[in-house]
Amino acid sequence: MNKQIKYYKSIPIYLGLILLLLESASVAQTKTNLEVLNQLVDSSVVKINDNILSTEKTILLNYNTSDAFSVFRNQVVLDFARLGKTISNSSANIIEYSIEDASVHYGDMFKEGIFGSYYVTRTVNLKGNYSIESSNSVPGKFNLAVIDSVAVDDITSLQNPTYPFTQDELPTEPFFSSLFEPVIAIGSAALAVILFFTVRSK
C-alpha cells in the first residue's frame, strides 16, 4: 500500500518534468529574430545569384550598407560562397548589395485556449537593393518577410539588445481576456467547492 502511495505522489513530479522538457524544446525550435533575418538575407542572395551567369564564378562584392546592418555582411559573403562564387578584390563582375531596412513587428496579442499562454504574430522584414555589373548591368530590389507566431514569454530571448532592429514594443494584453480570466478561475473554484460539499452531504 505504501509503495502505491509513493507511486501516486511521484506522478506529479514526472508530469512536471515532462512539461518542462516540452516547453524547453518549443523554445529551442523558435528561431531568434536575428536568425530569421539571416534567413531572409540568404533568400536575397539566392535571388541575386539567379541573375548572375552560371559561367561567372568570381565576383567583387561591394556591401554598401550602413553600420547598423554591418552584422549581415559575413552572412552575404558566406551565402555567395555556398552558391559557388569566389569573392575577389578585382573582378569584372561587380555585385552592389545594400540593405535599406531590417525590422521586427509584433501584432496583436492572443491566447491559445482560455488559460493558455499569450502569443503574438511576429513579422520580420528585410528590404534592400542590388546591382550586378558585368557585361550587362542588372539592377533589382528585394522586399522579403516572414510571418509566424511566437510566445510572449519567449520574446526577451528572441530579441538581441545589441541590434535594435531585432526589437519591437509588445502590444498590450487584451482587456476582456485580463478581465474575465480571474472571474472564470474564481467561478470554477467556487463551483468545485459547491460540488465537493454536495457530494459529501450525500
How many independent structural domains does the chain possess?
3
| Per-residue pLDDT tens over the stretch 95-118 | 999 999 999 999 989 987 666 789
Name the pLDDT band for 55 (thresholds 50, 70, 90): confident
Name the pLDDT band for 16 (thresholds 50, 70, 90): low
Biggest alpha carbon–alpha carbon distance for the chain:
93
Residue 112 within a domain: no
- Give the domain extent around 25: 1-30
Whether 36 contacts 124, CB under 8 Å? yes
| Per-residue pLDDT tens over the stretch 160-176 | 999 999 999 988 876 44
CB proximity list for 76: less than 8 A, separation 6 or greater: 41, 45, 61, 63, 97
Residue 48 within a domain: yes
Residue 51 within a domain: yes
The predicted structure's pLDDT at residue 117: 84
